[in-house]
Structure formats: structure tokens, C-alpha cells
């Protein structure tokens, strides 16, 4: 997990959930963050779509259920795009 992508995701999630970035750990998930409901999950996906200029498949959207999983998915897509 690279720091750059993690930092970007944390900033974005912190703004979206109105939380301090420190609270957004790689382990953070809908179980640990009250604001992360299904509507905010959609908002998060849309923000990531915008920020990283990528579209997520329905399967990816369903799997991105922790900050760590979000970062891993983005990195996988980024490395595929650059390969």
C-alpha cells in the first residue's frame, strides 16, 4: 500500500465523513465509521471516480468496504493502466 494513494483516500474520506484524517485508518470500514452508510459509500465511490479518473466495476464497488480495500483496488487499477 503506497503512502500517496492512502493519503489521498484519507483526505477525501475525511472531508466526506467530516472526520479528522487520523481517524481514517486502513482498517476503517462501514462497521467502524458510523457515517459510512450505503449513500456515503456511493458518494465515496463517485469521489474516487472523479479524483483518480477511473470507473469501478460493480464487483469492485461491492468489495471496497474498508479504506485498505479501497486503496488496494485503486492501486491494482493504476498498475494495470500503466502496464
Contacting residues toward other proteins, per CB under 8 A: 8, 11-12, 15-16, 18, 39, 42-43, 45-47, 49-50, 55-58, 61-62
Q: Which distant-in-sequence residues (6+ apart) come within 8 Å of 24 by Cβ?
A: 9, 10, 13, 14, 17, 33, 67
Closer residue to other proteins (CB): 39 or 83:
39
Q: Which is nearer to other proteins, 8 or 29 (CB)?
A: 8
Q: Kindly state the DSSP code that residue 22 receives in the 8-state scheme.
A: G
Q: Which is nearer to other proteins, 27 or 49 (CB)?
A: 49
Specify whether the CB–CB gap between 76 and 2 falls below 8 A: no
Amino acid at each position: 500500500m503506497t503512502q500517496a494513494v492512502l493519503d489521498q483516500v484519507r483526505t477525501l474520506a475525511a472531508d466526506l465523513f467530516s472526520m479528522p484524517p487520523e481517524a481514517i485508518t486502513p482498517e476503517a470500514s462501514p462497521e467502524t465509521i458510523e457515517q459510512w452508510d450505503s449513500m456515503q459509500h456511493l458518494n465515496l465511490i463517485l469521489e474516487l471516480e472523479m479524483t483518480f479518473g477511473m470507473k469501478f466495476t460493480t464487483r469492485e464497488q461491492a468489495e471496497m468496504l474498508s479504506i485498505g480495500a479501497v486503496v488496494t483496488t485503486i492501486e491494482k487499477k493504476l498498475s494495470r493502466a500503466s502496464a
